[in-house]
Amino acid sequence: MNKTIFAIAAAACLASCSSTKRTTNSNANISIFNEWYIETIGGQAIKDGVNPFVALDQAASTYSGNAACNMMNGKFECDTDKGTISFSHAVTTRMYCPDMETETTVLNALGQVSAYSINNEGTMTFTNNDGTPVMTLVPKRDIDGRWLFDTVRGKKVRTTDNVPFLEIYSSKRRVHGNLGCNIYNATIPMDFSDNAISFANGQMTMMMCPDMETENSVRTALQEVKTFKLDGDTLSLLDSEGNTVLTLLRD
């Protein structure tokens, strides 16, 4: 009887002490060794217009990312069994941006981190020695990042002085880009259970450019988009009937 109990306990211990701490959300098992967008610091949301992130490389025990203005990198120590993590002082590039406040806050917060946890929705929380939340982060999804418009209704997008692009930040349900002339921003409803997405509420600047044809065709097509499909580095945006109205290539 005692041997049976010991065997069950040993098996449970082995199952819980895997080399990578994971938790399940609706999409996939999330590992801490991932690329993460920083959402809040000290309970305050990151300002619009900046997108600091940190990427954790398990093999090298190094981190890299963007602190809001400058690129950063350094070393980290992580014990996935105990849920502890700490970061070395970051080495950064030396650019100056109009708003350096967020970057200073990010770098200071990383220096306070001593532990982490990941909830069922995939949000990671960094805490300090007192257990107080320092930072919350969300994993980068495949759809996130900068995409260049390639085709509109099967026709190649014509090159203009302003290369048409979209930057997608799924955790914030937000996009930013340029449609060929004007700056474009939108808050986008997204549902990853059925790949639903909509660009109906986009806002744009009101410049006039010599060639408005590209922008007008891209803007009109965006308003028809209902779902998306990812195939490697190609993003297809489809209308309500499943027809591809736009394709974009990862930059």
State residue 8's pLDDT score.
40
State residue 21's pLDDT score.
39
State residue 192's pLDDT score.
81
State the Cα–Cα distance between residues 50 and 114, nearest whole angstrom. Answer: 25
CATH match for 145-250 among 3.90.180.10, 2.40.128.270, 3.40.50.720, 3.20.20.60: 2.40.128.270
Q: What does each of the 251 residues of the chain score in pLDDT, given as a tens digit?
A: 444 444 444 443 333 333 333 333 333 468 999 999 999 999 999 987 788 999 999 999 999 999 999 999 999 999 999 999 999 999 999 999 988 999 999 999 999 999 999 998 889 999 999 999 999 999 998 999 999 999 999 999 987 778 899 999 888 888 999 999 999 999 999 888 899 999 987 899 999 998 899 999 999 999 999 999 999 999 999 999 999 999 999 99
State residue 162's pLDDT score.
82
Domain spans, the chain: 22-139, 145-250
Q: What is the CATH number of domain 22-139?
A: 2.40.128.270
Domains 22-139 and 145-250 share a fold: yes
